[in-house]
Each structure stands twice: as structure tokens, then as C-alpha cells.
Structure 1
Amino acid sequence: IKLGEKILTNGTRSDQNFGSSATLTKFFNPTTGERFCFLSNTDGKNDATIDLQADGKYFVPAWSVSILDGCNKEVYNTAKVNSQTSMFVKEQNEKENAQLSWAWAPEPMKDTLQGNGKFAANLLLEQKRVTVDFSDYFWYMTSVDTNGTSSLQNVTLQVNTKGHVLHAFVNKRYIGSQWGSNGQSFVFEKPVLLKSGTNTITLLSATVGLKNYDAFYDMVPTGIDGGPIYLIGDGNVKTDLSSNLWSYKVGLNGEMKQIYNPMFSQRTNWIALNQKSIGRRMTWYKTSFKTPGGIDPVVLDMQGMGKGQAWVNGQSIGRFWPSFIAGNDSCSATCDYRGAYNPSKCVQNCGNPSQRWYHVPRSFLSSNTNTLILFEEIGGNPQHVSVQTITIGTICANANEGSTLELSCQGGHVISEIQFASYGNPEGKCGSFKQGSWDVTNSALFVEKACIGMESCSIDVSAKSFGLGDATNLSARLVVQALCAQN
């Protein structure tokens, strides 16, 4: 686009149709004679070969646009992106970290469960304006007196919140948790048992990242902003608590004490992990692990944990939520970019966690032993957490006629095997390629000669390279699937 910036902003535009789906959009500067063109094919299924006479012939795949510099040289096509796909192999780091030894400590909540905050207001505050990104967590606390109030029997607590997550306690007892779909507002409703006299309601609101795009994204509210909050008793009689005196506190006590920091975590009374400490809400877990050898990236497999945050040597590696499982109803075995977009198009990993592996930058790691601390919000089992390294296993590349195919392994690995190679019109995707209706029979031998034993290689994709002379086929492409291994 930058190549044609001056012509696009100062030239005149004209369109020329080639059938029902192919269009040439030309920008022309009458003063300089310069041209810049877009050649589009809006057919959702069929490719097109367009003859522009003196400006040449162009193969335009279905549902794509070619950019022609000078209207006679293709510099880009949206469906001909030459790129490498890497399939990563995760390896358990058993040499240094075969089995992690865990300890735990409860999140101190005595003050908040008793309704003691740091400041108060007779309204329900918006969360992020108060927390100002200091913490994901914000406590809302109030008290209700039931003396002589016959309607507050068989009571349901109803909380209208703008998300993202809510944990509720009444009289120090946990009554439930809930979260919205895709960060949306939701209504929390749970039956509660109120005692005669003063009852304490404690609500912990948690955010899971904040919106960072779209118009007025900074104005999107979070937390129990305005509520309302009701106690609903017999006969559907509602008691509105929204204008009660609410006590507030930002963050967890564990955050204030910096339990996650090895410099301060020694002040905490850590207890050896036992069966009762597995699956606990609001719990801190601690272990140590040795830095894996080599230079491969390091990840934590957080399978088994619920929701929370993780720190390595006091450095945050982010929030985890592997118990949040993607739905099973949108995935398909095939993925076709062509045609109009819809949100469920090419969806993958249905029925799996939204994220399971979490990168630990090697710059966070010491030369020997490291401290890993987790805060678990809803209950999980740290015994399933493991330290792993990642390396590239299978690599795939695709390049169209007239371009260059490039393959590259990483970390000193070399290309050890060509699992598939086809110059022609191959089909499928990385891991399941197959030959199309035509193919040059020596494709694999040619690629093996150029790439086996190399850390990286480049191949000119042309009919001449594959022994077809000058019989150029504009729709031809080269697809390669290779295996990387240690040298």
C-alpha cells in the first residue's frame, strides 16, 4: 500500500469488470502517468486468471485481492502469503523437575469477611476507577439487620454486576461464584441463610483484563457499579441494598503482603500440601523448580488449576484460567478462509481450555533454583502443574509460483526429514497435506536435496526449478512439511 501512497491520495480512480466477480481498480496520476492497481476476485469458491493484455496475466485465488505496482507487477496477494507454520512439541522437564514439592497457605480474609474495609460510601462504586489497575480484586461489604423484619425469611441474594467475576460470602460463609460470558454483565442469585440480628454480606469482584479497543473502551464499567443488589424474601418482597453503607477494600491481603515475592513470602506460614488443601478456594501455593538446561522456551503447564495468577521469582507471568473450557459446538474439521467472515469460522480447540500453557521468559529465571507461587481463586490441584520446554517439531511452508519458499528450525535444530512435498496444486493443511490433481513427481527429492541437514533453506518456486522448463503455471504452488531434530 505504501508503494502507491502518492497515487492513491492524488490520482483518479476507475473500475473495470472481468465477469461477475473479478474487478480491476486502477488509480492513475495524469500528471506523472503513474499507475497503481488492485485486482480482486470476490467469488467465494472459484479462482480466476485475469489477462490484462500488455500488463500481463495474473492468477487471483477465490476471495482475494492482488496489489499491482505500476499495474503490471504483483507485489502482494491476500491469499498467497508465503509463511511457515510451526507445530510445537512440549517436553516434560523430568531431568531437573521430575516432581514438584508444594506448600500452601490460605488467603487471609478475616477482615473482609467481617465487613471491615478501608473506606465507605452509600453507593455501589465502579471497580476500575477505584482500583486504578492496582489489583484485579475489589471487595464490597455491608451489613443487614433482620430484627423484626419478617420479610427477610427464605431469602435470595441478587447481585446485578457488570463483571467479570463475583464471589459471595454471607456471615463468613461462602455461598457461590459466577462469571459473565465474554466479559458481559450478569445477575448473580443464590439463596442465603440470614440469622436474627446483624448479617454481614461480603462480595469479591474480580476483573479478567480490561477492554483496550473500540469507541470509548475506557468508559466500559466493571464491578457492581450501581448494582442494584437485592435481598428477595417471601412474596417476592425486595429489600434494596444499593444505597446501604458499603465498606470497600482494594486487593487481597496476600497481595499487600507480597506473598508472591520470595523476599517476603518467608513471612508466611507455609504448610506442606495435603489432601485437604487441594481444591481450596482463595489459596496460595508455593514450590521451587530448577532452570531447565538449554535455550528452548520454558512454559508452565497449568492443567488442573482453576483460576488465579502466577509468579516466578516475584515476576508475574499473568492470570491463568485453564478450567474455563471452550464450547463444543463451533469447531469443524476443515478451515476455508474463502467467503464472508463469521465469528465461528475456522474455530479450533473446542472443548479445551482457552489457555493451558504459560510462557516463563528465561530472563525471569535464575541460574539454578526458582520460586513459583500461585494464587488459586476457585479451587485447583497444583500437583498437576509441570515445567516444560518447547521446541519446534514439524514445520510447514507454502509458497506460490514466482516466489521463494523458506524453511527454518530453531535452537540449533536441523531439518531431518521431508515428510511431504508437492509442487502443483496440493490440498490440505499442515499435518494432513495431500497431492492435488497434478504434481511434479520429483518434488520431494528436489526439496530433500536442498534442505536435509540444514538449519534453514530457501527454494525458488518456479516451473524451471522443478524441471518443467518455461512452462509457467500461474496457479502452481509448492507445499512442504518437514521435521526438525537436534543436530
Structure 2
Amino acid sequence: MRANNTARALSLALLVLVVSVLGFVPGASCTEVSYDERALVIDGQRRIILSGSIHYPRSTPEMWPDLIQKAKDGGLNTIETYVFWNGHEPRPRQYNFEGNYDIMRFFKEVQKAGMYAILRIGPYICGEWNYGGLPAWLRDIPDMQFRLHNEPFEREMETFTTLIVNKMKDANMFAGQGGPIILTQIENEYGNVQSNLPDQESATKYIHWCADMANKQNVGVPWIMCQQSNDVPPNVIETCNGFYCHDFKPKGSNMPKIWTENWTGWFKAWDKPDYHRPAEDVAYAVAMFFQNRGSVQNYYMYHGGTNFGRTSGGPYITTTYDYDAPLDEYGNIRQPKYGHLKALHTVLTSMEKHLVYGQQNETNLDDKVKATKYTLDDGSSACFISNSHDNKDVNVTFEGSAYQVPAWSVSVLPDCKTVAYNTAKVKTQTSVMVKKESAAKGGLKWSWLPEFLRPSFTDSYGSFKSNELLEQIVTGADESDYLWYKTSLTRGPKEQFTLYVNTTGHELYAFVNGELAGYKHAVNGPYLFQFEAPVTLKPGKNYISLLSATVGLKNYGASFELMPAGIVGGPVKLVSAHGNTIDLSNNTWTYKTGLFGEQKQIHLDKPGLRWSPFAVPTNRPFTWYKATFQAPAGTEAVVVDLVGLNKGVVYVNGHNLGRYWPSYVAGDMDGCHRCDYRGEYVTWNNQEKCLTGCGEVGQRFYHVPRSFLNAAHGAPNTVVLFEEAGGDPAKVNFRTVAVGPVCADAEKGDAVTLACAHGRTISSVDTASFGVSGGQCGAYEGGSGCESKPALEAITAACVGKKWCTVSYTDAFDSADCKGSGVLTVQATCS
């Protein structure tokens, strides 16, 4: 008996050891994930997945629970994120998993909310992120070729992928361990560039190596590859990215239809207006996807967030990554997009069994009108009726009933009889967000420091020397936006020259003998330009110092990493009035990465810095400014308004909020003058629409997360600016982001629901009209004068002083003079 007990004890110990090695937690609910041609199969049941992208580095750990909960409240069951390699491994084998890079904490928050997760490792991610997430130090490795079949790249990629997988396993984050992760992704949009790569055989070997390497990780959930096109490895699921994916069909049998990126808007560049994708069109795309046997759909982005620090790629992509997402940059609910999609999610979730188990039957009612019916074995059914005409409403008869379907819309009938939702009919309020000034009258009190440039005005101070003009990214290892190129030459008598510098930009400052000779930046697109400025050379030794600057690194395209930056190759020439040319390209050049203030970490406001409160200069380039301020009261999001500045970087309490460039004005584009949700939404080839901000500052407001602030009453906070190009800080101030006007449209029988946020209440009801003919919420234009006094009085009585209210639109709102057009428009103000 003792031997048997000993044997049992040994067996139990071995079992515990095995369980521990596999990462399972005793008592945890382990989830099995597989798939078939209809859907993901989770614990034996087909499921529809409604997911949203929230990128952990573009927000803060303190924001994550609220963002995730709002996504869940919005009807999502899954959170998706990329993994940001260059943020986690900024230098070889030096890892960062702290702060907003604490990816394990992020996934634990997802798990705590009771949601699934999609882990898109990449590790190339695009994402409008420097180098698409690939570390710049990879280029220092001999024989390195990005995203092709070569040992150096595959070794580094596998090392990082394994690191992330093991961290997820150690934290029990995969579904089979009781965690939330149900899908993992390797590579990203490779099929979009594969045919343009220099070696097609190498590209094919690489993408199949990626799939094999990923599957060897034994994560226990399926691997996906998005936009892989024709060359799809057999052991991954191909998925779709785009504004519309309802016509997409994965290559390969027995694979579900997965939409990894439904673009809810678009990213913004300094010279571009703001992109807005109408809520009606996003909903139309989602409904069309599920009508056509879709099962997994992810919004890119659900919360866009902020490109803190130097993370934005492009180049020339702004610090904001708002993306017109359902949750705005600051985490506020964007209405009506959030609410309109939430209503759709509710209806789709109620139809889940029909969508993934029902027999599909399609009926063409017109060349662009289709009814789709999903029927279960018990005889119950759910239906869609879609109208893809972009300019024609239709009246159709389906199964004996008549339906009116607006142009470019989908009607959803959970019982195949009653329309519960139409994508073109928005029943959710519109909320207009306003920026409210919060600092004391008189503005901020500034002190200043000059950037210490003197060592850069000779060629004796630097990191190394070379007799050629080198590429900036490799030379500076992307440790700073700035790289100094310095040389000298000896001349006889005083003489006038024109200095010419050919550079791949993105900016260039030229100094001759310590004096600024000129500045130029590239236009957004072709970053090659020639700098030209008159200069005077004195007798004896002359110093030429060229400061090259980048504004984000290329992140997309075939061989994007080979796109140079800086004064690589030049030439750099001096040309006299008589046509004599001095070519300095092969001079001895001294190189120095970064600015003195960066090295001294002036942004941390360390003791010993001699800030001067006197004669604060304006329009002075290369100047540091500092001010203190009180954190705005309340819980509303905080922004710093940088109007009046030119270009530079802003820090609050040592946190880098990102690059600013408020002197850059967005151009005028045709899309600012037309907006119609009907028809395909496109953001290229001059087909843009629904833009705002033409001719306005590219980006004026910069997010200051509450966790960056000292919230205690009376506690000081410090803002530090590095003004590179010369600006005036006098108008800089802090503001809070609040809901101002709120508006809703209702048909008879609908409920009008209005809501404020962050404790604010409805202070007035401003409009209750059947005659609104134009304008938008907060700035309606007059109409027929068909104001409804009964509606105004009823809604005022029910809503003023309340945080939210609901009033039904009934016959009582009509009057002898105003019978109504069928749509009541209401506007109120939150304060």
C-alpha cells in the first residue's frame, strides 16, 4: 500500500509539473479554439467576433480599463492590438515592458473585462509607426534584408516573436491556458508589397518560413495573415483589411471569413485635413460583411490614441492618431458613430446562431439589391436586405412584405419580418466636443533657456569623422530626430558664395561660422529637395554646420527601410558669383547625433538649470521654454493648446507628448466641400470626402493624459517646450475636452435621448424643429421656420438640469401651424 501511495504521489507531482510547464492554472477555465469554413469555433460553438483595435502604447495603463469597458459596453466581445517591436526592444536585447508598453498588464485588463483578445505580433505592423515597428538597429546587422528570406532578419524576428509568445504563456494569456487570446497574427499586409520586392523567390520562402516559425510556437490558437493575396501558406488563415471586405473570400478550404481591419476613418498628416468616415457607411460595411457570411470583424481603430514621443511614422504623420474612431483620441465616446454601431452589434449578437449555423439563401431583388436569409433547423430565420445603389432608395417586396430601403444601406430583420435596424437611419445623438480653457487669466508665466549650439559650430566636437556624407537613420541609430554634419575649409579673402545642399530631408538648417544661413523642409511626399542660401566666407578657417532632421520614418511599401534620410551623398557645394565651385561632399565631416538639450534631458527640468524669467524671447529658434500650471479640475480629458508656436516637442512633467508643428496649415482639398455617406469611402486618388479643417492648423491640441499630471490641489505641474523653428508661447494654454452641443433626429414613435458626460448637465434645449435644412449640430441653418413649440417645451421640462433624458416623439409635438416633416431635430447644450 505504501508503494502504491508513493507511486500516486509521484504521479501527482509529475502531473503538477507538467501542468506548470504548460502554463495552465489549476481550476482555470481553459478555452479550446479552432475554426471551420463558417466561423471560429470556441469550446465547440461557432461564434461571431466583434472586435476593436486599441493600441496599448497609444494610451496609458490608467486609461486601459475605461477604454476596454467602453468597447464592451459598445457591444464588442474582443480587443485587438499590434505588438510594437521597436518600443519593446529599442536597443538589441534591452527590453522595455513598463508603463504604456506593459503588454501583459494590457491583456490582463482585457481578461478582467471578460473579453477575448487578438494578438497581432507582426512584428512588422505598419501602423503609421516608425519603420512599421521594426527597430532601426536592425540595419546595423551585416547582410540584413528586411522581410526577405535571410538568416539575420529571420533570426531577429524569431527571437522577438518567441519572446512575446513566452511572455504571454508565462502570464497564462492564451485561450488554452484560460486566457483571452483566441487569434494570433504573424507578418502584416505582406501580399500588398510582395510582388514589388527585388527577389520573388526569397519573398516566397520568407512568407512560408514565417508561417512555419509561428506554428512551431505552439500557442494553441490559430495563426492569421492579413492581405496575403495569392501566396498563402497552408497553415495560416488569410484575412482582409480595407474599408469594405464583404466580397472577400479566403483562399484555401475550410477557412472562415475574417476582417482584421475595418478602417473607421484615416490617419492624419500635417498638411492634410481631418478624415471622417460617416457612421452610416461604417455600419453599412459591417452589415454587408455579416450578410455575406462574415464571422470575425475588427474595427481599426476603435480607439486611435496618440503617437507619444517620436513614434509616428509616415513620415509627416501627426502626433494625433484619432482616426475618427468610435472612441476619440482622448477616450471620449464619439457620437453618433459609437452609438450607431452599438445598436448594430446588439442586433447582430441576437442573430449569432442564425449567422454561423443557418442555411444561407440569397435572393436578388435588383442588380444591386439583395435579400439574404439564414435559416436554422428549427425553422427560425434572420434576414438582411441590402441596397448598394449609391443614389437610389428602393421599395422592395420580400416574402410578401413591402420594405423601403434607403440608398447605400442594409436593413436587418432578426425575425425576417420586422426591420430592427437600418444602417442609414441614425437614432443616436450627435455630440460636439468643445475645448474649454482652464488656466488662470493672464496665461502661463514662462522662463527660457537657449539650446547650447556653440559646440556644433565647429568640427572638433562630435562622435566620429568620415570623408563622405552618410545616411542619417543608420548613422544616428534613430536615437534622435537630429543629426549634425560639420566640416571646415580655409579661404583667402572674404568672398560671397551660394551654399547648395542636396538632401533627402526632411528638414535642414544651415549654419556658417555660427550664423544661421537658412532653413528648408520637404513637402509631404517627395522628400528629396535642394537647399540654397547665400553665405559669406571670411579669410582663414570657416565652419559649415548642417543640421538634418527627420519627422517620422517610412513605414510602408516594398523595401521601405532603404528609403534614405539626411544628406546622404549630397552633394554639398559652394558656388561663387563667378561660377567657381567648391565641392565639399568628400571633405572630412564630423558627425554628432542629437541636440545638447536632449543629452542633458532638459525636459526633465533637473536642478541646476538656469532658466531665465526675464526678456522671454519670441520667434527665436532653438529655444527651450518652461512654465508651471495647475491640473484642471474634474475628470475630463486635458489638452495643451500650442497655437502660436512653430515646430518642436512638448513635454509635461517629463512625459514626451510628441512633436508639434502648428505652423503647418492643412491644404484645401475637394473633400472638405462635399460629404455624403452614400457610395464608397476612399482616402486616395483625389476621391476623398467628408473632410474638415482645410486651411486650418494641421494640429493644434495635444493630449495630456490625466496620469501625467499631479492632481493634488495646489501641486505644480511643469510644461517644457523645445521650440526648434521659432514661435511665441504667449498663447499656449491648457484646456479640457467636454461635450458641448448634443443633437438628435427622431421619427414619430422614436425616443429622443440626450446625454452629457463627466457630470455635466443639460443647461438648455436650443432647437426642436421640423424645418432644419442645413448646417450641422451646434450650427444648424434655418429652415422653413417649422419650429415645434410643444416639443421644445416638453423636452426642456424633461431634460434641463439632467445628465441625460429620454422623451418620446408623439402626435402632441405637432401643432396647427406645424404638422411636421416626419423628422424632428433637437439640439441641446451641456455645461
TM over 0.5: yes
Q: Which amino acid aligns with 1:308?
A: G
In structure 2, relative to structure 1, the CA distance for the partners of 1:5 and 1:374 (3 Å cut) is same
CA deviation string 1:35-91 (max 9, x = no partner): 8656133334xx403313227544444444556668767676554445443334433
Give the Cα–Cα distance (whole angstroms) in 1 for the partners of residues 602 and 766 of structure 2: 50
Give the Cα–Cα distance (whole angstroms) in 1 for the partners of residues 762 and 543 of structure 2: 65
Could you say which residue in structure 2 is the equivalent of 1:383? 730
Give the Cα–Cα distance (whole angstroms) in 1 for the partners of residues 805 and 658 of structure 2: 37
Q: What SS is found at the alignment partner of 1:50?
A: strand
Q: CA deviation at 1:458?
A: 4.3
Could you say which residue in structure 1 is the equivalent of 2:633? 293
Alignment of 1:137 with 2:482, yes or no, is yes
Could you say which residue in structure 2 is the equivalent of 1:188? 531
Q: CA deviation at 1:326?
A: 2.8
In structure 2, relative to structure 1, the CA distance for the partners of 1:167 and 1:420 (3 Å cut) is same
Could you say which residue in structure 2 is the equivalent of 1:259? 602
CA deviation string 1:200-237 (max 9, x = no partner): 22111222233445565555433333434333344655
Counterpart of 2:498 (choices 146, 153, 156) is 156
Give the Cα–Cα distance (whole angstroms) in 2 for the partners of residues 401 and 144 of structure 1: 82
Counterpart of 1:111 (choices 448, 455, 471) is 455
Structure 1 window deviating more from structure 2 (24-33 vs 415-424): it is 24-33
Could you say which residue in structure 2 is the equivalent of 1:272? 613
Alignment of 1:482 with 2:828, yes or no, is yes
Counterpart of 1:361 (choices 695, 702, 705) is 705
Q: CA deviation at 1:374?
A: 0.9
In structure 2, relative to structure 1, the CA distance for the partners of 1:386 and 1:439 (3 Å cut) is closer
Give the Cα–Cα distance (whole angstroms) in 1 for the partners of residues 533 and 365 of structure 2: 63
The answer to which structure has the higher helix fraction is 2
Could you say which residue in structure 2 is the equivalent of 1:324? 664
Could you say which residue in structure 2 is the equivalent of 1:304? 644
Report if aligned partners of 1:8, 1:36 keep a CA contact under 8 Å in 2. Answer: no
Could you say which residue in structure 2 is the equivalent of 1:41? 388
Report if aligned partners of 2:772, 2:780 keep a CA contact under 8 Å in 1. Answer: no
Q: Which amino acid aligns with 2:538?
A: K
Q: CA deviation at 1:464?
A: 8.3
Q: What SS is found at the alignment partner of 2:602?
A: coil
Show structure 1 runs of 5+ residues with no match: none
Give the Cα–Cα distance (whole angstroms) in 2 for the partners of residues 405 and 218 of structure 1: 53
Alignment of 1:421 with 2:768, yes or no, is yes
Give the Cα–Cα distance (whole angstroms) in 1 for the partners of residues 438 and 619 of structure 2: 25
The answer to which structure has the higher strand fraction is 1
Structure 1 window deviating more from structure 2 (172-181 vs 32-41): it is 32-41
Using CA pairs under 8 Å that are at least 6 residues apart, name the structure with larger relative contact order, 1 or 2.
Answer: 1
- For the aligned residues, what is the CA RMSD? 4.1
Give the Cα–Cα distance (whole angstroms) in 2 for the partners of residues 64 and 239 of structure 1: 66
In structure 2, relative to structure 1, the CA distance for the partners of 1:41 and 1:144 (3 Å cut) is same
Give the Cα–Cα distance (whole angstroms) in 2 for the partners of residues 325 and 451 of structure 1: 40
Give the Cα–Cα distance (whole angstroms) in 2 for the partners of residues 36 and 233 of structure 1: 78
User: Number of residue pairs matched?
Assistant: 468
Alignment of 1:231 with 2:580, yes or no, is no
Q: Provide TM-score, normalisation by structure 2.
A: 0.49
Could you say which residue in structure 2 is the equivalent of 1:456? 804
List aligned pairs for 1:393-472, cutoff 5 A. Answer: 393-398=740-745, 406-422=753-769, 427-430=774-777, 431-432=779-780, 434=782, 442-448=790-796, 450-458=798-806
Alignment of 1:50 with 2:395, yes or no, is yes
Q: Provide TM-score, normalisation by structure 1.
A: 0.80
Report if aligned partners of 1:41, 1:61 keep a CA contact under 8 Å in 2. Answer: no
Q: What SS is found at the alignment partner of 1:383?
A: helix
CA deviation string 1:238-292 (max 9, x = no partner): 5444443332222111011011103x2x3222222316x2221101111212223
Structure 1 window deviating more from structure 2 (403-412 vs 201-210): it is 403-412
Structure 1 window deviating more from structure 2 (309-318 vs 326-335): it is 326-335
Counterpart of 1:168 (choices 505, 510, 515) is 510
Report if aligned partners of 2:769, 2:786 keep a CA contact under 8 Å in 1. Answer: no
In structure 2, relative to structure 1, the CA distance for the partners of 1:417 and 1:439 (3 Å cut) is closer
Give the Cα–Cα distance (whole angstroms) in 2 for the partners of residues 120 and 283 of structure 1: 28
